[in-house]
Amino acid sequence: MSVERIREVILAEARGEADSIESEARRRHDERLEAARKQIEQEFQRRFEQAERRARQDSERRVLHRRSEHNLALLQQRNTILDDLFRQAGEQLRDLPDEQYRELIGAWMEEIPPDAAGQVFCHRRDEGRLRPLLDGLNGSRGADARLDLQPGDGPETGGVIFRAEKFEIDLSVDTRLASLREELAPEIARRVFGKQTGV
């Protein structure tokens, strides 16, 4: 084999080896590039999902906060309406004609034990209306169970407070309405406002 032919064979082998090395280097480079691209895409996706989750949570928190504020305002408004309804009811009870007012307070005073003596506190405005009631009650009570009417500063909204030596019974319009409101508020709210309780 001639020198020229040997040189061609060596050069051909060297080119083949160089092509193979270059091809392997390109393959490794492409693999590293693809791995880096995938890693970047995964990191981007992870960060995007984190940002999306944070934004969704923040949005949900804001919506819940706004909803809570709205529901609180709605509840306050409903309570204001209920307060107004019971205030009007108290005024109507206070302004009843004398005979009806005496009947109402007389029915409440049935809670006073028949053998208990004590003072019956009323607002001075109601003294004339309640004096006949107490006179009638005292007519059917024993001498040691007398009721002594004490007109003065309260209860302002009407009714009476009975005070014996060892106990007291609040028979005021305010207390009766407060008790009634607690008992009836859910039913009144349902009738007035329907089933809607918020957003």
Q: What is the pLDDT of residues 173-188, one digit of tens each?
A: 999 888 888 887 787 7
pLDDT at position 26 = 82
pLDDT category at 195 given cuts 50, 70, 90 is: low
Question: Beta-carbon neighbour count of residue 178 at 10 Å?
Answer: 14
Is residue 13 pLDDT above 80, yes or no? no
**Which of 153, 106, 163 minimizes the C-alpha distance to 129?**
106
Query: Is the preceding peptide bond at 113 cis, omega within 30 degrees of 0?
Result: no
Tell me the pLDDT tens digit for each residue of 47-61. Answer: 888 888 888 898 888
**Which of 122, 157, 121, 115 minimizes the C-alpha distance to 137?**
115
Question: Long-range contacts: 150-156, Cβ < 8 Å, 24+?
Answer: 150/119, 150/120, 150/121, 150/122, 151/122, 151/123, 151/124, 151/126, 151/127, 152/121, 152/122, 152/123, 152/124, 153/123, 153/124, 154/121, 154/122, 154/123, 155/121, 155/122, 155/123, 156/123
Tell me the pLDDT tens digit for each residue of 85-121. Answer: 888 888 888 889 999 999 999 999 999 998 999 999 9
**97-193: in CATH 3.30.2320.30:** yes
DSSP 96: S
